[in-house]
Amino acid sequence: MPQPFLSPDAHLNLQVRGLPISATLAINEQCDRLVAAGRPVYRLGLGQSPFPVPLPVVEELKANAHQKSYLPVRGLQALRAAVADYYNRTQELAVRAEDVLVGPGSKELMFILLMVYYGDLVIPTPSWVSYAPQAHIVGRQVHWLPTTPNQWLLTPDALDRFCRKDPTRPRIVILNYPNNPTGCSYSAEQLQTLAEVARRYRLVLLSDEIYGELSFTGRHLSIARFYPEGTIISGGLSKWCGAGGWRLGTFVFPESLGWLLEAMATVASESFTSTSAPIQYAAVRAFRGGLRIERYLWQSRRILRTLGEELRRRLQAAGLTVAPPSGGFYLFPDASPLREQLAVRNIVDSESLCQQLLEDTGVAILPGTVFGRPPEELTARIAYVDFDGSRALAAAEQVAADAELGGDFLETWCGKMLTAVDRMCNWLHGAAMTKGNPSI
């Protein structure tokens, strides 16, 4: 027998050994394969904005395609200034350009933050799929905190009870709102009381506000307003600007945590060097905003709110428990009220639910377990993004601003999403599972 040429069991870094590809990207690639095989697929797995990048931002990218130089590690100065100005304008903060760090996606910046800060990671359950694996890769301990039963929100009490056990231990807490995977958010009072706990224990608070501009009210509030000295705001172009594939993220630091920014810049300089130059020039235009971008955002929120509410209504009518969404494009239904009838079909946990659902109906969603929920729970994340956002935006422009978009609008422009959720609901209730059956 020839000896194998090195082996993953012996030669892979222990922190990486056995780790799978991130669930969001794995489901996307699985959908690609199913589509290539000619299967009808409803792509509710990856959380990718359905909307196009706003035209003025695309034009700016075109005009800057020739930009070929390496840019400063911390980011293009004009972009850092535009980001600072954006937060000062929208959140009434006092951010300076030098408080901003630009990176190739906020995900990369989070990874580097976890690497440079020597403390535990504390996250509510459920949380986005990558926080915990990133911490694991860099050897940090992860603590999951319980959330409220109906809204999946972290309470000041739960945070305080956890920190009290070891009050001076260094910790990073990640708070994400509007939330991925639940679509829920915190009120100003809730943010304020959480901020008081964070201050008591001198926590580094990473406030992941990547969906902030997609808050349905259009009035997203940052916890940095209440805990400026310890909050790092994470943002970027991926969600509100429809530019996930452009890979541009930003971190905004309080002056008191400037040393963390500096340490991250050092790691950046030894790893990704700097963020893509043309993308940074285009991002200046995005962060400067203006009427055309405001209008794009207003219509995006209007469509997402109408669609999210309608999908929630249908899921609830089918007997699932679902929190009302207040921003972004996710719902996090719980099918436990149907547990007994699902168990008869051997569907006993969120993994088997999602696998079987995809196999039988072509609807791809992600199981609650990848967001840190207990495996036996019947929760899952729906990303309601499988529709043509360009056409939906153009159609929404034709509907009077003070009118509701309504059912006809959704049927015409987001019909695939309605079909996907109806198929899911019918399937949960045991509709015949022959492929091509129009009832599922």
- Interface with ligand GLU (CB under 6 A): 22, 24, 46-47, 107, 128, 130, 180
Which residue bears the tokens 């209008």? 295
Cα-Cα-Cα-Cα dihedral sign, residues 356, 358, 363, 367? positive
Smallest gap from residue 180 Cβ to ligand GLU (A): 5
C-beta closer to ligand GLU: residue 80 or 373? 373
Smallest gap from residue 49 Cβ to ligand GLU (A): 9
Tokens representing 112 are 């580097």
C-beta closer to ligand GLU: residue 75 or 249? 249
Smallest gap from residue 169 Cβ to ligand GLU (A): 29
Smallest gap from residue 48 Cβ to ligand GLU (A): 6
Smallest gap from residue 282 Cβ to ligand GLU (A): 20
Smallest gap from residue 128 Cβ to ligand GLU (A): 6
- CA dist 304 and 299 (Å) reads 9
Smallest gap from residue 9 Cβ to ligand GLU (A): 28
Burial (CB count <10 Å: 0-12, 13-18, 19+), residue 406:
exposed
- CA dist 218 and 148 (Å) reads 25
Smallest gap from residue 381 Cβ to ligand GLU (A): 8
- CA dist 328 and 275 (Å) reads 25
What does the angle CA 88 – CA 91 – CA 94 come to, to the nearest 5 degrees? 40
CB atoms within 10 A of CB 36: 8
Inter-residue contact 428 to 380 (CB < 8 Å)? no
Inter-residue contact 313 to 298 (CB < 8 Å)? no
Smallest gap from residue 56 Cβ to ligand GLU (A): 24
CA distances from 311 to 258, 367, 368 (A): 43, 18, 18
Smallest gap from residue 286 Cβ to ligand GLU (A): 18
| Residue count (the chain) | 440
- CA dist 266 and 427 (Å) reads 52
Residues 6+ apart with CB under 8 A from 192: 226
Smallest gap from residue 383 Cβ to ligand GLU (A): 6
Residue nearest to ligand GLU (CB): 47
Which residue bears the tokens 């970027």? 236
Inter-residue contact 183 to 330 (CB < 8 Å)? yes
C-beta closer to ligand GLU: residue 122 or 243? 243
**Residue 184 half-sphere exposure toward CB, CA atoms < 13 A:** 23
User: What is the Cα Rg of the chain in Å?
Assistant: 22
Tokens representing 121 are 């990671």
C-beta closer to ligand GLU: residue 41 or 405? 41
C-beta closer to ligand GLU: residue 181 or 230? 181
C-beta closer to ligand GLU: residue 128 or 227? 128
Burial 1-10 (b: 16+ CB within 10 A, else e): eeeeeeeeee
C-beta closer to ligand GLU: residue 127 or 280? 127
C-beta closer to ligand GLU: residue 15 or 22? 22
C-beta closer to ligand GLU: residue 107 or 423? 107
What does the angle CA 406 – CA 385 – CA 206 come to, to the nearest 5 degrees? 115
C-beta closer to ligand GLU: residue 252 or 364? 364
C-beta closer to ligand GLU: residue 107 or 220? 107
Inter-residue contact 239 to 328 (CB < 8 Å)? yes
- CA dist 390 and 395 (Å) reads 9
Amino acid at 410: L
